[in-house]
């Protein structure tokens, strides 16, 4: 699984970076996702970050 953040939708609330810092981080005022395969041990927190994103800016594939 890979994670991406839609920069046009992101509002910079930092929820994803707090929920799954292994994948998401803040770059200025917007969140970004590390360009790596999501490790199995953080898949649940990555999915939680996507589900809780208030603007649905996180894309998992």
| 15: containing domain | 3-60
| Cα 59 to Cα 50: distance, rounded to the nearest angstrom | 7
Mean pLDDT of 44-57: 98
Provide the CATH number for the domain around residue 8. Answer: 3.30.70.20
- Structure confidence at residue 2 as a pLDDT band (50, 70, 90): very high
Q: How confident is the model over 5-22, as pLDDT tens digits?
A: 999 999 999 999 999 999
Q: What is the pLDDT of residues 19-45, one digit of tens each?
A: 999 999 999 999 999 999 999 999 999
In 3D space, the residue among 43, 48, 25 whose CA is nearest the CA of residue 35 turns out to be 25
How many structural domains compose the chain?
1
Q: Indicate yes or no: pTM above 0.75.
A: yes
pLDDT for the residue 55:
98
């Amino acid at each position: 699984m890979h994670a991406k953040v839609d920069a046009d939708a992101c509002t910079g609330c930092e929820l994803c970076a707090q929920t799954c810092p292994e994948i998401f981080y803040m770059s200025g005022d917007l969140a970004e996702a590390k360009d790596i395969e999501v490790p199995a041990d953080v898949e649940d927190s990555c999915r939680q970050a996507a589900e809780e994103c208030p603007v649905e800016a996180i894309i998992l594939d």
